[in-house]
Structure 1
């Protein structure tokens, strides 16, 4: 059961970690926020929400920085 839950969290994270915005900074910032949120929830399930948030934030920032708005576009960032 745990492996199924972990796989579901991983797949949901991959979808949710895509960032919005057009500049690299916007995409990295929003990706870090989304990733930290998803990572904290996933980590909470395993008793380590802080570690999950840190890992999720790092992966989200990296994903946002290496993708561009033509690959993944979730719209305009809230802060713009």
Structure 2
């Protein structure tokens, strides 16, 4: 149950990964949000926080880069 909740939280955070008006801005913000989500999830589940942050940053950057400014933009 705890793993399912963490997955849901991470999915919601990565859904916000597209913040900014340029692709670079969205990728950078996505990497930051993803790194925080990955490290947090790893800490709660007993995994390596470094590995969680790296994996989360990669997933967040990719998600942010694939979004369009019109999809999700929390401002500049």
Same fold (TM over 0.5): yes
In structure 1, the partner of 2:9 is 12
Unaligned 5+ segments in structure 2 are none
Deviation at 1:51, TM superposition (A): 1.1
Unaligned 5+ segments in structure 1 are none
In structure 1, the partner of 2:57 is 57
In the alignment of these two chains, the number of paired residues is: 73
Q: Answer 1 or 2: higher relative contact order, Cα 8 Å, separation at least 6.
A: 2
Q: Is this contact kept in 1: 2:3–2:45, CA < 8 A?
A: no
In structure 2, the partner of 1:40 is 39
Q: Give per-residue Cα distances to partners, 1:8-52, cap 9 Å, x unaligned.
A: 222222221222001111000000001000110100112221111
